[in-house]
Amino acid sequence: MSPAARSLLISGARRRRHHHHHCSGFSTEAPSSSPLPKGKRWDAVVIGGGHNGLAAAAYLARAGRSVAVLERRGLIGGAAVSESDLVPGFRFSRCSYLLSLLRPALIQELELERHGLKLLPRSPSSFTPCLDGRYLLLGPDAELNHSEISKFSKYDAEAYPRYEEKLEGFCKFMDFVIDSAPPELRHEYHLSMVDRMKDKVDKSVFWSKMFGVVMQQGQKDMVDFFDLLLSPASKILDNWFESDVLKATLATDAVIGAMAGVHTPGSGYVLLHHVMGETGGQRGVWARTKTIASGMSKVVSQILVHKTSWRVQGVVLADGTEVLTPIVLSNATPYKTFVDLVPANVLPHSFLSDIKTADYSSATTKINVAVDRLPQFSCCKDFNREGGPEHMGTIHIGSESMEEIDLAYREAANGVSSTRPVIEMTIPSVLDKTISPPGQHVINLFVQYTPYKLSEGSWQDSNVRKSFAERCFSLIDEYAPGFSSSVVGYDMLTPPDLEREFGLTGGNIFHGAMGLDSLFLMRPVKGWSDYRTPVKGLYLCGSGAHPGGGVMGAPGRNAAFVVLEDLRTK
């Protein structure tokens, strides 16, 4: 399941200013469409109303600061928003489709459940049909997992709980890292002696806590942890299991959203990144949320920077309006923020060059499909029109072996969209009847691999688009005969569409690759991992910052804490 790829988000608009400090959260009402008050100075402005921007705004507002969230689309929620006019009568989460990476601390601190966040857990959570008539169901139920995996391998059925326990232990270690700003060396020379000392103490507290967590794990576990970090997913899964279908089902988590294959070193970390989701305290169980919101469209054309002090002064909107503030948090991608929005000649050459050469490649296409009936999988004998266990979770199509996934990846690496794409399919209307007409369904297809730039033809060509969508539908037909004929309409977002519609550079749903060379102290670039930037008062709060992509809200939450910390030291 994929990070940014996955949610029908808590979305919200402006925070109402309350006088009690404990009141917080996203409002699910549309923000007012009135123009911004003229001449008002805001304490902070957030560029981009995606989930991280909303999280940052909510934390700042909770601390009593006045915050304006500016979003260029008329909808709040960024890539995690629901839209209803694509096929009449159906409501789609346009980009992302599942929510479970959202940090438990954030749900609790912003009291999101009280503000309308509804989690719909899925059990079973994963279904892989096979062309030979067999299938594999997996979920939070240990007995179900044991009996299902036993159909393919008794050995694997015994090993699976140990594998889950191992990853669970690594997740506990990662929790601390994810919920903290990286211990970046501060660049400000104007800091007082006291602040510099405090900064040194904070850094040593971070490292000693980290060392403590490492010591708790023990040396053997830490060696295993680094093995997982550095290895290809195929090596990790081959070490644990023998059955192809189980390995391939688990391997999809290591490649989803990434231009990477199962044999790519470091894909083991991405595997872990997706297991870190928690829903109701259960990791790896995904959920959907039901609230939606609309918003006010404000296009930011430039960040205002003072010519001599290099400090942020506000932002300029596309219509020329200046919105004044000493603090700007950008939820746009690092590329968009620093190349498109910060004026030329403001940033150090080496910093800008690192931002430009970062990996923004993407392999993902999202197809939102409206169908007039539920797909009927030939490997399942009992068909329930209301939805059976096979319709509840993520359905893995074309993922019966790691070789199949690797072949699909190698084609894309050569500029050709996969002949047999790897498809993750979800049917949210089985759990939420309000999003489609009675008896009809909403289907999300998260498809790989589709290069941003095709070696032949172009995504602008409607024939190229149509033939790729039909290729996906006919692959599903092999597992669920008649699927193609059930399609009443669809909306397709290829990497260039994701870039144009949602501002995702290169179509990358994580705002930049999640390789080991672009994580933690190296995200977005070396030397600038703590949400601060070379422009004073400008912060990065989106998925391009630590800890990366996914509907987790951690970058937004951590960035807000850094901003509040900086305001205190002033």
Cα atoms found within 13 Å of the Cα of residue 39, Cβ hemisphere only: 0
pLDDT tens per residue across span 93-140 = 765 545 556 788 888 898 877 776 766 677 788 999 999 999 999 988
Minimum mean pLDDT range among 81-85, 477-481, 530-534, 554-558 = 81-85
528 inside domain: yes
Q: Are both 203 and 260 inside the same structural domain? A: yes
Residue 97 tokens read as: 């489709």
228 inside domain: yes
Q: Examine the fold and report which residue of 288, 317, 339 is the final residue of a domain before the chain moves on.
A: 288
Using pLDDT thresholds of 50, 70 and 90, give the confidence band for residue 434.
confident
Using pLDDT thresholds of 50, 70 and 90, give the confidence band for residue 174.
confident
**Higher pLDDT, residue 289 or 390:** 390
**Higher pLDDT, residue 397 or 50:** 397
At 2 the pLDDT is 29
Using pLDDT thresholds of 50, 70 and 90, give the confidence band for residue 316.
very high
130 inside domain: no
Q: CA 316, CA 302: separation in Å to the nearest integer?
A: 5
The DSSP bridge pattern shows strands 422-426 and 441-448 to be antiparallel
Total number of domains constituting the chain: 2
The DSSP bridge pattern shows strands 44-47 and 67-70 to be parallel
At 219 the pLDDT is 83
Q: Are both 197 and 271 inside the same structural domain? A: yes
The DSSP bridge pattern shows strands 394-397 and 422-426 to be antiparallel
527 inside domain: yes
Instruction: Specify whether the CB–CB gap between 476 and 375 falls below 8 A.
Output: yes
Q: Are both 330 and 283 inside the same structural domain? A: no
Most confident of 124-128, 176-180, 374-378: 374-378
**Higher pLDDT, residue 568 or 559:** 559
Q: Are both 284 and 268 inside the same structural domain? A: yes
**Higher pLDDT, residue 229 or 424:** 424
74 has pLDDT over 70: no
At 350 the pLDDT is 96
Q: CA 60, CA 324: separation in Å to the nearest integer?
A: 17
pLDDT tens per residue across span 226-260 = 898 889 999 999 999 999 999 999 999 888 888 89
519: which strand partners?
none
Q: Are both 182 and 283 inside the same structural domain? A: yes
Q: Examine the fold and report which residue of 264, 288, 312 is the final residue of a domain before the chain moves on.
A: 288
Number of neighbouring beta carbons within 10 Å of residue 295: 26
Cα–Cα distances in Å, from 477 out to 132, 134, 214, 470? Answer: 14, 16, 48, 10
520 inside domain: yes
- Mean pLDDT of all residues belonging to the chain: 84
Q: Are both 247 and 259 inside the same structural domain? A: yes
Q: Are both 202 and 275 inside the same structural domain? A: yes
Q: Are both 233 and 317 inside the same structural domain? A: no
496 has pLDDT over 80: yes
Task: Please tell me the total number of residues recorded for the chain in this structure.
Answer: 570
Residue 345 tokens read as: 């000649």
CATH assignment of the domain containing 533: 3.50.50.60
Percent of the chain's residues with pLDDT above 70: 84
Minimum mean pLDDT range among 9-13, 405-409, 441-445, 505-509 = 9-13
Q: CA 111, CA 94: separation in Å to the nearest integer?
A: 25
Angle 528-324-339 from CA coordinates, rounded to 5°:
40
At 254 the pLDDT is 86
Structural domain containing residue 328: 44-118+290-357+515-569
502 inside domain: no
Q: CA 269, CA 95: separation in Å to the nearest integer?
A: 23
Residue 268 tokens read as: 């083991």
84 has pLDDT over 60: no
Residues 6+ apart with CB under 8 A from 191: 199, 569
User: Can you tell me the mean pLDDT for 539-562?
Assistant: 92
Residue 167 tokens read as: 């990853």
444 inside domain: no
Q: Examine the fold and report which residue of 237, 261, 288 is the final residue of a domain before the chain moves on.
A: 288
Angle 296-297-299 from CA coordinates, rounded to 5°:
140
At 276 the pLDDT is 66
479 inside domain: no
pLDDT tens per residue across span 508-537 = 999 999 888 888 899 999 999 999 999 999
Q: Are both 170 and 284 inside the same structural domain? A: yes
Q: Where are the alpha helices (DSSP H) in 40-178?
A: 51-62, 104-109, 142-150, 154-178
Q: Are both 314 and 265 inside the same structural domain? A: no
